[in-house]
Amino acid sequence: MHYPLRAILRRNKAGKTASINSDRLPAHIAIVMDGNGRWAKRRGLPRTAGHQAGMEALKRVVRAAAELGIKVLTVYAFSTENWRRPQNEVEFLMRLPSEYLKTELAELKSKNIQLRLAGELEELPPHTREAVKKALSETAANTGMILNFALNYGSRAELVQAVRKIAAMVAEGRIKPDDIEEKTVESFLYTAGLPDPDLFIRPGGETRLSNFLLWQSAYSELWFPKIYWPDFNRHHLLEAIATYQNRDRRYGGIRL
């Protein structure tokens, strides 16, 4: 099965078109929403304008992913390292989740999208925390696409937290060290119960993971478009998926 060519196309260097196979969609797409500040600087605008434009890009991509039938979309909204940025920028970034949810929550609910959080909620400012809690509660019963916000998230901190919890279980005699398996670690990650990302997208021109889903992305297909996140749109998402569908995923094995 393919989606209508007029709706979902990409052009290769020869000018030909290729459709996206809906039977081979990535179940989980992870995105580092990078390049907002540089997008703004190129236009002589403050960095906050770039973050505002980045939120509009998020709206476009969430709609497109849901329409395509993507099961999980995880977006890197704010890292544990982002607290080091100037205070006025951090305060602005902490207002964006509230602003996004104020305008988009009704649509998320109408499209049966469930919001989840990866990160430490209690460390967020009260207004951000309450807006997220409200959205989590009001979309908890939805059964469509999962929109997973990585907010106040750091992958190393996530792994340390998982190790501490497992170590406590060993100390209490609830499990033995030899009982610890990959699925044991996975059960204590923020993404417990979700499939690992099939496709990892980072616009902005950087080609690094930046402490995002390090465990979960062990076998993700990586795509680094040389555009800034505020310019990212449906076309770029489709191009990423088309690229993914042309990859040969062997998971360390070989095809005989």
Residues annotated as catalytic (active site), given as ranges:
34, 82
Helix (H, G, I), strand (E, B) or coil at 87: helix
Question: How many other C-beta atoms can be found within 10 angstroms of the C-beta atom of residue 210?
Answer: 14
Strands 10-11 and 17-18: antiparallel
Are 113 and 143 contacting, i.e. CB atoms less than 8 angstroms apart? no
Question: How many other C-beta atoms can be found within 10 angstroms of the C-beta atom of residue 163?
Answer: 13
Q: 70-104 in b/e burial notation, b at 16+ Cβ within 10 A?
A: bbbbbbbbbbbebeebeeeeeebbbbbbbebbeeb
Task: Point out which residues pair with 223 in neighbouring strands.
Answer: 201
CA–CA distance, 169 with 185 (Å, rounded to integer): 12
